[in-house]
């Protein structure tokens, strides 16, 4: 069964009737969850940077690049969903998941000799896996909707 917040894709008249109740991109549950998790990741990493200011600059650049890409692709996916384009949402979520995998790889090569590094890795990995789970669920819903639209068109 299609989740309630995506029912508007099937019935445009119902979408017009519920126009005041529709979620916008900033209030969509997946966007709220993603934003909150990334804010927590940034906070934890900032604490770590304050403790260990001498991390390799190339590693820091790679981490920030991956983090920024993940956030950007997640936001773009939510905007695609807002524009009623679940296929485009799937594309952006796939890019976001690739970036998320890069973030996990980046964490795995962080030097183990630093005190407290294992705790930081564990905390950030938990948040990244939560983001992954959120995006995979949304990706599944969008794929179902895309397949149903293709079936209706035939």
Q: What is the pLDDT of residues 9-39, one digit of tens each?
A: 555 565 555 554 445 555 678 888 898 999 9
What's residue 136's pLDDT? 95
Of the two residues 35 and 1, the one the predictor is more confident about is 35
Give the other-Cβ count within 10 Å of 99's Cβ: 19
Q: For residue range 54-109, what is the model confidence (pLDDT) as tens digits? A: 888 888 899 999 999 999 999 999 989 888 899 999 999 999 999 999 999 998 88
Question: What is the average pLDDT across 37-53?
Answer: 87
Q: Which residue has the tokens 């939510």?
A: 78
What CA–CA distance (Å, rounded) separates 80 from 74? 10
């Amino acid at each position: 069964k299609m989740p309630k917040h995506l029912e508007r894709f099937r019935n445009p008249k119902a979408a017009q009737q519920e126009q005041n109740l529709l979620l916008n991109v900033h209030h969509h549950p997946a966007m709220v969850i993603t934003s909150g998790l990334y804010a927590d990741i940034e906070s934890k990493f900032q604490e770590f940077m304050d403790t260990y200011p001498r991390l390799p600059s190339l590693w820091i650049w790679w981490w920030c690049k991956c983090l920024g890409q993940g956030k950007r692709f997640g936001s773009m996916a939510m905007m695609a969903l807002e524009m009623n384009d679940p296929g485009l949402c799937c594309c952006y979520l796939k890019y976001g998941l690739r970036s998320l995998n890069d973030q996990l790889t980046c964490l795995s090569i962080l030097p183990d000799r630093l005190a407290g590094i294992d705790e930081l890795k564990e905390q950030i990995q938990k948040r990244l896996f939560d983001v992954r789970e959120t995006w995979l669920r949304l990706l599944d819903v969008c794929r179902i909707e895309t397949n149903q639209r293709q079936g209706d068109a035939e």
